[in-house]
Amino acid sequence: MSLYVLADLHLCKGDPAKTMSVFSGWDDYQERIERNWLETVKEDDTIVLPGDISWGMSLEEAAPDFRFIEELPGKKIIIKGNHDYWWTTMKKMEEFIAAEGLDSIKILHNNHFRYGDYGICGTRGWVNMPGETQDEKILKREVQRLETSIKSALAEELIPIVFLHYPPIFATNFNYDILEILYRYKIKDCYYGHIHGRSAHELCVKNTYDDVNFHLISGDYLQFMPEKIF
């Protein structure tokens, strides 16, 4: 029973025109995701998918992508990304999951999931990069969600592992509000996606910084291979 992670699937089974294959390094990415997943993840494994899962603009449009994920092995835990426009209220998403029979998919949102002695925690996070719009209200909400998730794991005496969509650090830009939560709760490992392209990957923190181990797990960086955590 292993724990894996892979962000930024950017699936478009319902609308092939939205394929990411037009970008460098993304050729045949959906086929590569499926092949690598089948070769790596087993039925009793768990895989965390930290955002940008489907290009669908609604749950109905995203349904083919969720059915694709459901048919792959393992238990899946999903987090919202900046391109997950289908994301709606927890009630509507849970009703959709039940109606579609997506039994292997769970939503990480103001909660945590147990994995042995660990608590899988996280949220989308928020931007701290040049050229992207900042919003103090959204940032405060994401900070609160991250703290709520971590505290729920600690309440069960679990060791929190944090998964975010946005990077807390990118180049010389720091999201101090998110980092303060990581430091306050002595988080040892933080996994994040969102960043694409070789030149951008080189600007990412992929090692230990202020006692936190940062891991870049965006799809193209991992060559669409699920990364084993444990």
pLDDT tens digits, residue range 127-186? 866 666 667 888 999 999 999 999 999 999 999 999 999 999 999 999 999 999 999 999
Q: Could you say which of 3.40.50.2000, 3.20.20.70, 3.60.21.10, 3.40.250.10 is the CATH number of the domain covering 3-228?
A: 3.60.21.10
Tokens coding 1 = 């029973």
Q: What is the pTM of this model?
A: 0.96
Q: Return the CA Rg of the chain.
A: 16
Q: What is the pLDDT of residue 160?
A: 98
Taking residues 107-114, report their average pLDDT: 98
Q: Percentages helix, strand, coil for the chain, rounded to the nearest 5? A: 30, 25, 45
Q: What is the pLDDT of residue 227?
A: 98
pLDDT tens digits, residue range 115-144? 999 999 999 999 866 666 667 888 999 999
Residues whose CB is less than 8 angstroms from the CB of residue 140 and which lie 6 or more positions away in sequence, other chains included: 177
Q: What's the pLDDT band for 225 if we cut at 50, 70, 90?
A: very high
Q: What's the pLDDT band for 56 if we cut at 50, 70, 90?
A: very high
Percent of the chain with pLDDT over 90: 94
Residues whose CB is less than 8 angstroms from the CB of residue 210 and which lie 6 or more positions away in sequence, other chains included: 179, 183
What does the alpha-carbon distance between residue 174 and residue 177 come to, in Å, rounded to a whole number? Answer: 9
Q: What is the pLDDT of residue 131?
A: 61
What does the alpha-carbon distance between residue 80 and residue 184 come to, in Å, rounded to a whole number? Answer: 23
**Domains of the chain, residue spans:** 3-228
Rounded to 10 deg, the angle between the 90-100 and 59-71 helix axes is 50
